[in-house]
Amino acid sequence: MEVFAVYKKAFLLCAALLFAVCAHLRPCWVYEGLPPFTLRAAALAEETAQRAAEEILSGPAAASRLSRRLRFTLRRPVGDVRLLTDKLLCATEGIVKRDRVCVDGETLGWVADGDSLRAALGASIEKKLPVWASGGRLSRELSIRRRYTREGYLTPTGDMLLLVTDAAPVVYTAAWNHAGAGPAAP
């Protein structure tokens, strides 16, 4: 009888320890290459990405190809929902990130790399700089922002340069002489 009481106490102690550990375990989703997310945060990110994909594609979107696995952890999952939503959108078939090019808010098209477009535009302005001018700039505001769009919406950089300079012609500024009396002599 005494042995049974010892086994009973040992069993209850093990059960209590197991319960204490399990009470602090947190279920979370782990996506490839990302930190763990709470189940609620992952569900929010997936729903947001699905709705955004359906809006971008103008219809039903296939589920993201990003794999996930359930894991239990003692630490609080700290994954950023915006990062997960971005990864889910980028992993959705038919959606890509591109740079949208606008002049005074009017969309001209999409390019693969906005920085190379800006560099090409600067080189084009510098190359066509008249002898009398000290610099040049676009006559209207150019904005290039990274956005999600459908696959296939892409304008080559050379064509986009023509579109930008047509929508916002280049304005050249005159070089003034040191006395400030007028343009410098050629």
CB-based burial label for 61 (10 Å; 0-12, 13-18, 19+) = buried
Neighbours of 74 (CB within 10 A): 8
Query: Which one of 45, 64, 93 terminates a domain?
Result: 93
Number of domains present in the structure of the chain: 2
Give kind and range of the element (H or E) at residue 112.
none
pLDDT value for 16: 79
Q: What is the rounded distance in angstroms from the CA atom of residue 4 to the CA atom of residue 41?
A: 47
Mean pLDDT split into 10-residue runs, the chain, 186 residues? 79 79 80 88 90 88 83 82 90 90 92 92 89 87 92 87 91 69 50
pLDDT value for 183: 53
Q: Are residues 6 and 72 in the same domain?
A: yes
Four-point Cα dihedral 12, 16, 17, 22, nearest 10: 140
| Domain contains 183 | no
Q: Are residues 88 and 107 in the same domain?
A: no
| Domain contains 184 | no
| Domain contains 57 | yes
Q: Are residues 75 and 106 in the same domain?
A: no
Q: Are residues 66 and 139 in the same domain?
A: no
Q: Are residues 89 and 102 in the same domain?
A: no
Q: Are residues 44 and 113 in the same domain?
A: no
Q: Are residues 8 and 49 in the same domain?
A: yes
Domain of 134, in residue numbers: 97-174
Six token digits for residue 29 = 């989703």
Question: Cβ(37)–Cβ(65) under 8 Å?
Answer: no
Nearest 5°: phi and psi at 120?
-65, -35
pLDDT value for 94: 87
pLDDT value for 176: 67
Q: What is the rounded distance in angstroms from the CA atom of residue 76 to the CA atom of residue 28?
A: 9
pLDDT value for 147: 92
Q: Are residues 53 and 119 in the same domain?
A: no
Q: What is the rounded distance in angstroms from the CA atom of residue 181 to the CA atom of residue 27?
A: 75
Q: Are residues 82 and 163 in the same domain?
A: no
